[in-house]
Amino acid sequence: MTSNPLRKLIFDEKIRSVWIQALVIGLFAFLVYTVSQTTAYNLEKRGIGTGFEFLHMSAGYDISFSLIDFTSKDTHLKAYFVGVLNTLLVSISGIFLATILGFLVGVIRLSSNWLFRNIAYVYVEFTRNVPVLLQIILWYSILIHLPKVKQAVQFLEFFYLTNRGLYSPSPIFLQGFGFVLWSFIFALVFTFFLKRYLKKKQETTGKQYPIFYINSAIIIFTPILMFYIMGMPIEFSHPVIKGFNFQGGMVLRPEFMGMLLGLSIYTAAFISETVRSGIMAVSKGQREASQALGLKNNFIMRLIIIPQALRVIIPPLTSQYLNLTKKLIIRNSNRLFRFSSWLWWYFFKSNW
Amino acid sequence: MTKIKSLFMALILSLGVSSAFADGHGSTLDVVKERGFLKCGSNTGLAGFGLPNDAGVWEGIDVDVCRAVAAAVFGDASKVEYVPTTSKVRFTVLQSGEVDMLSRNTTWTLQRDVELGLEFVGVNYYDGQGFMVPASLGVSSATELDGASVCIQVGTTTEMNLADFFSANGMSYEAVPVETNSEADAAYTAGRCDVYTTDASGLYASRAGYPDPSAHVVLPEIVSKEPLGPSVRHGDSAWADIVRWSLNAMIIGEEKGITSANVDEMKNSNDPEVLRLLGVNQVGDTGAGYGQWLNLSDDWAYNILQQVGNYSESFERHIGPNTPINIQRGLNALYKDGGILYAPPFR
Amino acid sequence: MSSAVINNPLLRSKTGIWLKKNLFSSWLNTFITLVSIYFIWQVGSFFLSWAIFDADFLVNFRGEVILDRTYCSKNIEPGLHGACWAIIDARFYQFMYGFYPAEEVWRVNLTFLLLPLALIGIFFDKLPYRKFFIYFTFIFPFIAYYLLYGGPTLSQVGTNKWGGLLVTLFLGVTGIGLAFPLSILLALGRRSQMPIISSMCVIFIEFIRGVPLITLLFTANVMLPLFLPDGISPDNLLRALVAVTLFQSAYMAEAIRGGLQAIPRGQVEAARSMGLTYWQSTRKIILPQALRISIPPIVNTSIGLFKDTSLVLIIGLFDLLGIGRAALADMSWIKLYYEVYVFVSLVFFIFCFAMSRYSLYLEKKLKTDNSQ
């Protein structure tokens, strides 16, 4: 069989794999070449210019929500950067919210109360089976029907809820606030070593120390002490109605909140399912064994169940986080997220 | 599989066939005639301009231009296929030959006309960007809007006009981005923004849909020129002429008082221009009418006026004072009625 | 416990025991139950009164037939706020078929009717005469193409006339159907011994998975005509289909790869030592087992894709949501957002919920099959 070189070409796996791969590469290169040729021809014929010069031209539009200063005179590159920052901000806060809500709902789904459990079930089924785009639109239309600026709902004294967003005081840091921050970092480092020292002592002497309480106290009280020593170096800018809108303070806009709510409530439904299956995956025997050892209930949860459940939960959790981030740009023309608009700019500068 | 298949198609066809394809294109008129219907790029939905109604039939003054061209070419205004285009894809769709013409409230600008390789053939609606505010706000001029929240459709020239206007007047504003007209209406009526800015026609159209239209005022400032008109691909002037003169025929029809109701009587008119338009009079003594210059039948304009009506009829039918949209003729009246609508002579 | 409580017939009945165990087992539980009941009452009564009790269906509170939004009760009496479902009725045809010609609509209906027949063969393996159903599944795409698009004896209906549920289902079902063979190839390619093949598959899969569907849709919409020679321009729906298929194939490939990895190495080795070639062993031994395991994740990604098809409205296709938006832009129905969005959500929910139930059923079945 191997004597015939032609047969060898087909049946010898090593030789076969070489020519198959060579063929694939050749074909691929040829395709790339022809497609790029056609594309170049088409672009030229239709008078579509390509290139990145536009990045350095001024954008001409304003972005109302930006973490860095941005005006319509700034370049497209900066607008793009604003978009990246905004995307990161929403995705991080969305992940944060979705995780908390998801864990909560996941635990509720395992509650012994039939009614409570099933409310969570209905929530999960309804949110994860409806397109998130629709949910964002629905949330947004609910948010813009909140009270108007003049009838703002005031709560916790300094917060205002309106259909223009949630207004809150914003801190202004005065000179000396740096010391407070430093003292906080110092406390963190100190407690880290303290914990190691006390653990070692516990291992040698067998005496248990309330490490958690000691360290919490240090971390909380050191910066507070420093804060008073420096003479309370902080001020708040309060939102006040001036003209059409509230001025001063910080604001979460409905566009931002609608996006955040829609995405995190949607993602939380998926997270709750992973959490539920993660906890269920820890076998019953584990719980019973720890009970037999005489561990208290919250210790069982903290030391036995959760560490094991987390091993199951974390891999799918990260992919949920990625999904959330990718779903962000579905409301692409919301100027918050300029990725695809950016793509459009590249090809069709004309449209703007 | 689809990817591989399409790439294969690309491969095979690009081997020499592509050039044949490129040059083998007949004139647009021939292509349209051979196909049997006109492909017209329309809006995805703008009341009064281009929108499918409950029965799924497209209606609007932009749509009427497409119908006029179909009437001129086929003698049947219904031979149109509408390709809904978003503001982002409209030019590509035309450039790539997916549609024969574009008639979807598109502003005629230098760049679009020249750099993009489009050819605007006329203006079927003179528009301009305006501002609408609730009357209760007590604002009478756009210069009093410092610090206001403004609802704005993203990805349009209005966005840039807005930025220019506010910075020129040293004012600040909060831009509230919305994607569609209906979303803008929702945000504006809910009070999410104090001001809604878009083309004045759009403002009037939106206002008409509100429960209490008189509670909203359109401010006097018009901050931009927005001549909206149909466009075709650059390079086929014969086709551009057909679209241009189909629109002109509607305007001349109004000027001469020819309506879809009286078009047959007007064939007995004494006005030679009317007779030329309706294909009664011939070019000199050649024995042929004016259709020959456009490669159309001589009754092409007659068909337009009979089936679509003149410009005024189209206007009144879709956006005039008797429609929910309720727009006055204003700039869009004939030159002799105080507007700037003016078609070249038909001779 | 007092004897009165113990002897209470209600508490000793089956329901009583169930109630006590599930709702009132402790003070905390009782409290939670009461709060839950309050919550359900609030939300439920609000929603039901809006959607049903206070809503207009075809006539308003005066008994007039609703012709446009001005007839809706809530637009006549300021105090009323029930839904006005007449918009759905007025546009129901468009929600289902888009702009498909009314005299040809039996073709769409027939396709809708045949679709379940084509699917049950794949979904239920204990079906009697399953073989014939599977044969039908393979013929179905051609029948559907002929019925929907037209051909000999049937007039042609261009895809620009398609819309609503038809487009949503078309993109979902065809996208998933086309992605399936492609994803098998990709999954096998990714696990291939040939470094170039496998790395190309990895790059493809990871690239597609790394970008959002909307980007792919945009790219397909704009770039595909540029990639292809002049004069060939696939229509809008086809472009969306290309994007959807590529997107889905990458996700499905990962699901199938998971299934492939779960097959013990010994299976492959045994098959190869029996003298089967790579393709024989893959087709007869490996794939049937791997696919069985990977069906639940495949169904889950399919649900995701089905929901994501709502994004095509951004490139100007009238899917369910697109039709809804067009209805909202119409002066005669303007401002009935909640009605439209809730209706569209409901349609999506019905399909996705059915799919997720099916995937659950499969998972359970796999578990019991494996434990036997």
Which of C166, C263, C322, A335 has the alpha carbon at shortest distance from B159? A335
pLDDT digits (tens, 9 = 90+) for A48-59: 655 666 667 777
Amino acid at A148: K
Lookup result for tokens 């700019």: A345
For the segment C52-65, the average pLDDT, to the nearest whole number, is 88
In this predicted structure, which of A141-145, B243-247, C34-38 has the lowest mean pLDDT? A141-145
pLDDT of residue C233: 67
pLDDT of residue B21: 35
Coil vs helix vs strand at A153: strand
Q: Which token pair is C235?
A: 């229509």
The answer for residues whose C-beta is within 8 angstroms of residue C317's C-beta and 6 or more apart is C163, C167, C236, C237, C240
pLDDT of residue B242: 95
Q: Which of B4, B61, B182 to mutate to test the interface with C (most CBs of C within 10 A)?
A: B182
Cα C210 to Cα A326, C200, C206, distances in angstroms: 8, 15, 6
The answer for residues whose C-beta is within 8 angstroms of residue B337's C-beta and 6 or more apart is B329
pLDDT of residue A350: 34
pLDDT of residue A51: 60
Tell whether the torsion through CA atoms of A149, A155, A156 and A161 is positive or negative.
negative
pLDDT of residue C189: 92
**What are the φ/ψ torsions at residue C27 (nearest 5 degrees)?**
-60, -45
pLDDT of residue B25: 52
- The answer to whether B199 touches B226, Cβ cutoff 8 Å, is yes
Check pLDDT > 70 for residue B10.
Answer: no
Query: Hey, are the CB atoms on B160 and A352 less than 8 Å from each other?
Result: yes
Amino acid at A304: I
The answer for residues whose C-beta is within 8 angstroms of residue C72's C-beta and 6 or more apart is C56, C60, C66, C84, C86, C336
Nearest chain C residue to B187 by CA distance is C335
Query: Hey, are the CB atoms on B147 and A351 less than 8 Å from each other?
Result: no
- The answer to whether C159 touches C240, Cβ cutoff 8 Å, is no
The answer for residues whose C-beta is within 8 angstroms of residue A163's C-beta and 6 or more apart is A143, A144, A145, A146, A147, A148, A149, A254, B190, B191, B192
Residue B145's region, left for phi above 0, alpha for psi from -120 to 50, else beta, is alpha
Crossing angle (nearest 10°) for helices C213-227 and B2-14:
20
What pTM does this model have? 0.82
Q: State the DSSP code for C50.
A: I
Residue C41 banded pLDDT, cuts 50, 70, 90: very high
Lookup result for tokens 């006109």: B38
- The answer to whether B66 touches B80, Cβ cutoff 8 Å, is yes
Please provide the DSSP assignment of B78-100 as one string: T-EEEEEE-TTTHHHHHHTTSSS
Residues C181 and B2: their CA atoms lie apart, in Å, by 11
CB atoms within 10 A of CB A240: 11
Residue C10 banded pLDDT, cuts 50, 70, 90: low
Q: Does C74 touch chain B (CB under 8 A)?
A: no
Residue B14 banded pLDDT, cuts 50, 70, 90: very low
Average pLDDT, chain C: 86
Residues A223 and A181: their CA atoms lie apart, in Å, by 7
pLDDT digits (tens, 9 = 90+) for C19-28: 888 888 888 8
For the segment C56-61, the average pLDDT, to the nearest whole number, is 88
- The answer to whether B139 touches B78, Cβ cutoff 8 Å, is no
Check pLDDT > 80 for residue B43.
Answer: yes
- The answer to whether B192 touches B151, Cβ cutoff 8 Å, is yes
Check pLDDT > 90 for residue C73.
Answer: no
Residues A303 and B327: their CA atoms lie apart, in Å, by 72
Query: Hey, are the CB atoms on B14 and A38 less than 8 Å from each other?
Result: yes
The answer for residues whose C-beta is within 8 angstroms of residue C226's C-beta and 6 or more apart is A38, A39, A42, A43, A48, B96
pLDDT digits (tens, 9 = 90+) for B125-158: 999 999 999 999 889 999 999 989 999 887 677 8
Beta bridge partners of B178: B153
pLDDT of residue C9: 64
The answer for residues whose C-beta is within 8 angstroms of residue C357's C-beta and 6 or more apart is none
Residues A37 and B10: their CA atoms lie apart, in Å, by 11
Query: Hey, are the CB atoms on A329 and C314 less than 8 Å from each other?
Result: no
Residue A343 banded pLDDT, cuts 50, 70, 90: very low
Residues C59 and C65: their CA atoms lie apart, in Å, by 4
Among residues 179-218 of chain C, which lie with CB inside 8 Å of chain A? 193-197, 200, 211-212, 214-215, 218
pLDDT digits (tens, 9 = 90+) for C339-363: 999 999 999 999 999 998 988 888 8
Residues B241 and B346: their CA atoms lie apart, in Å, by 13
CB atoms within 10 A of CB B109: 17
Question: From the list A49, A245, A335, which residue is nearest B147 (CB)?
Answer: A245
Q: Are strands B216-218 and B129-134 parallel, antiparallel or unpaired?
A: antiparallel
Average pLDDT, chain B: 85
Q: Complex ipTM above 0.90?
A: no
Crossing angle (nearest 10°) for helices B311-318 and B61-74:
140
pLDDT of residue A339: 44
pLDDT digits (tens, 9 = 90+) for A62-109: 776 777 777 778 887 787 777 777 778 888 999 999 999 999 999 899
Lookup result for tokens 């079927």: B124
- The answer to whether B203 touches B181, Cβ cutoff 8 Å, is no
**Angle ∠(C133,C136,C141) on CA atoms, nearest 5:** 140
Lookup result for tokens 């109004």: B254
pLDDT digits (tens, 9 = 90+) for B71-112: 999 999 999 999 888 776 788 788 777 889 999 988 898 878
Alpha helices, H only, chain A: 5-11, 13-45, 76-108, 114-128, 132-143, 177-205, 211-229, 254-281, 284-292, 297-299, 306-327, 339-347
Q: Are strands B80-85 and B38-43 parallel, antiparallel or unpaired?
A: parallel
pLDDT of residue A211: 81
The answer for residues whose C-beta is within 8 angstroms of residue B311's C-beta and 6 or more apart is B124, B250, B251, B253, B254, B341
pLDDT digits (tens, 9 = 90+) for C191-242: 888 888 899 999 999 888 887 787 788 778 777 877 887 666 677 889 899 9
pLDDT of residue C27: 86
B81 contacts on C by Cβ (under 8 Å): 158, 160
For the segment C120-131, the average pLDDT, to the nearest whole number, is 82
B176 contacts on A by Cβ (under 8 Å): 64, 255
pLDDT digits (tens, 9 = 90+) for A3-55: 577 777 777 777 888 888 889 899 999 999 988 888 888 777 666 655 666 66
For the segment A302-318, the average pLDDT, to the nearest whole number, is 86
pLDDT of residue B128: 92
Beta bridge partners of A153: A161
For the segment A118-134, the average pLDDT, to the nearest whole number, is 92
Q: Are strands B38-43 and B101-102 parallel, antiparallel or unpaired?
A: parallel
Amino acid at A301: M
Amino acid at A249: G
Residues A134 and B217: their CA atoms lie apart, in Å, by 32
For the segment B282-294, the average pLDDT, to the nearest whole number, is 79
End-to-end CA distance of chain B: give it in Å, rounded: 57
For a pLDDT cut of 70, what percent of chain B falls above it? 91
Check pLDDT > 60 for residue A288.
Answer: yes
Which of B315, B316, B306 has the alpha carbon at shortest distance from B260? B306
C242 contacts on B by Cβ (under 8 Å): 2-3, 6
C364 contacts on A by Cβ (under 8 Å): none
Q: Which token pair is C39?
A: 């919550």
Residues C134 and C147: their CA atoms lie apart, in Å, by 20
Check pLDDT > 70 for residue B8.
Answer: no
A326 contacts on C by Cβ (under 8 Å): 211-212
Q: Are strands B216-218 and A240-242 parallel, antiparallel or unpaired?
A: unpaired
- The answer to whether B280 touches B290, Cβ cutoff 8 Å, is no
* Strands across the sheet containing B231-233: B80-85, B38-43, B101-102, B231-233, B118-120
A122 contacts on C by Cβ (under 8 Å): none
pLDDT of residue C107: 93
Crossing angle (nearest 10°) for helices C165-190 and C287-308:
140
Q: State the DSSP code for C312.
A: G
What is the widest separation between alpha-carbon atoms in chain C? 91
Cα A185 to Cα A219, A223, B273, distances in angstroms: 9, 9, 89
pLDDT of residue C29: 86
Tell whether the torsion through CA atoms of B128, B133, B134 and B137 is positive or negative.
negative
Residue B241 banded pLDDT, cuts 50, 70, 90: very high
Among residues 235-294 of chain C, which lie with CB inside 8 Å of chain B? 235-236, 241-242, 245-246
pLDDT of residue A46: 64
Q: Which token pair is B347?
A: 């001779």
Query: Hey, are the CB atoms on B179 and A334 less than 8 Å from each other?
Result: yes
Q: Does C227 touch chain B (CB under 8 A)?
A: yes
Question: Higher confidence at residue A335 or residue A222?
Answer: A222
**Residue-range domains of chain B with CATH:** 25-126+228-337 (3.40.190.10), 129-224 (3.40.190.10)
pLDDT of residue C242: 92
pLDDT of residue A150: 83
For the segment B237-243, the average pLDDT, to the nearest whole number, is 94
Residues C139 and A253: their CA atoms lie apart, in Å, by 53
